[in-house]
Structure 1
Amino acid sequence: MTPFIQACIKANEEISSALQNGFDTSWFEKTEVGAGGDISSKLDLFAEEIFVKHLSAFGKIESEESGIIGEGEEQIIIDPIDGSANALSLFPFYGTSVAKVNAEGILDAAVVCNLANKDIFFKSSTCKVQQGKLFSNTFHDPHSSEKAEIGLFEKAYANPELVAALDKEKLKFRSPGAIALSLAYAHTVNYVLFMGEFRIYDFAAGLALCEGLEVIVEADYVIVSKEKSIAMQIESLINKL
Structure 2
Amino acid sequence: MAEYLEAATEAARLAGTHQREQFGTLHGHEYKSPGDPVSAVDHESERLIIEHLTARFPGCAILSEERGGVGDGEERWIVDPLDGTSNYVRGHPAFSVSIALEIAGELRVGVVYVPMRDDLYAVSRDSEGFDDGPAIGVSETDRLDSALVAIPYSSSGTDRDDLWATHRTLGSAVEGLRSTGSGALDLAYLAAGITDAACGFGQSRWDRAAGLVLVEAAGGQVTDHEGRADHDGDFVASNGLLHGDVLDDIGPGPV
TM (norm. structure 1) is 0.81
Kindly tell me the number of residue pairs found equivalent between the two proteins.
Answer: 229
Unaligned runs of 5+ residues in structure 2 are: 155-159, 226-231
Correspondence for 2:202: 197
Q: Structure 1 pair 16/226, CA: closer, same or farther in 2 (3 Å)?
A: same
Q: Distance in 2 between matches of 1:19 and 1:40?
A: 13
Alignment partner for residue 44 of structure 1, among 42, 45, 53? 42
Correspondence for 1:4: 4
Q: Distance in 2 between matches of 1:76 and 1:16?
A: 17
User: Does residue 88 of the first structure (1) align with residue 89 of the second (2)?
Assistant: yes
Q: Distance in 2 between matches of 1:215 and 1:86?
A: 26
The code of the aligned residue for 2:188 comes to A
The correspondence of residues 1-241 of structure 1 with structure 2, limited to 5 A, is 2-23=2-23, 25-26=25-26, 28-30=28-30, 33=32, 38-57=36-55, 58=57, 59-69=60-70, 72-102=73-103, 104-133=104-133, 141-142=135-136, 145-146=139-140, 149-155=147-153, 158=161, 159-187=163-191, 188=193, 189-194=195-200, 196-211=201-216, 212-218=219-225, 221-228=234-241, 230-239=242-251, 241=255
Q: Retained in 2: the 8 A contact 1:27–1:41?
A: no
Q: Retained in 2: the 8 A contact 1:28–1:42?
A: no
Unaligned runs of 5+ residues in structure 1 are: 134-139
Q: Distance in 2 between matches of 1:200 and 1:220?
A: 7
- Spell out, residue by residue over 1:137-157, the C-alpha distance to the aligned partner (whole angstroms, 9 max, x if none): xxx631655467522122396
1:161 match: secondary structure: helix
CA RMSD of aligned residues (A): 2.8
- Spell out, residue by residue over 1:2-37, the C-alpha distance to the aligned partner (whole angstroms, 9 max, x if none): 22222222222223333444437457432x639xx9
The code of the aligned residue for 2:136 comes to P
The code of the aligned residue for 2:66 comes to E
Q: Distance in 2 between matches of 1:236 and 1:149?
A: 15
Q: Structure 1 pair 71/193, CA: closer, same or farther in 2 (3 Å)?
A: closer
Among the aligned pairs, what percent are the same residue?
Answer: 26
Larger RCO (CA within 8 A; separation ≥ 6)? 2
Q: Retained in 1: the 8 A contact 2:15–2:46?
A: no
The code of the aligned residue for 2:220 comes to L
The code of the aligned residue for 1:164 comes to R
TM (norm. structure 2) is 0.77
Cα shift at 1:78: 0.3
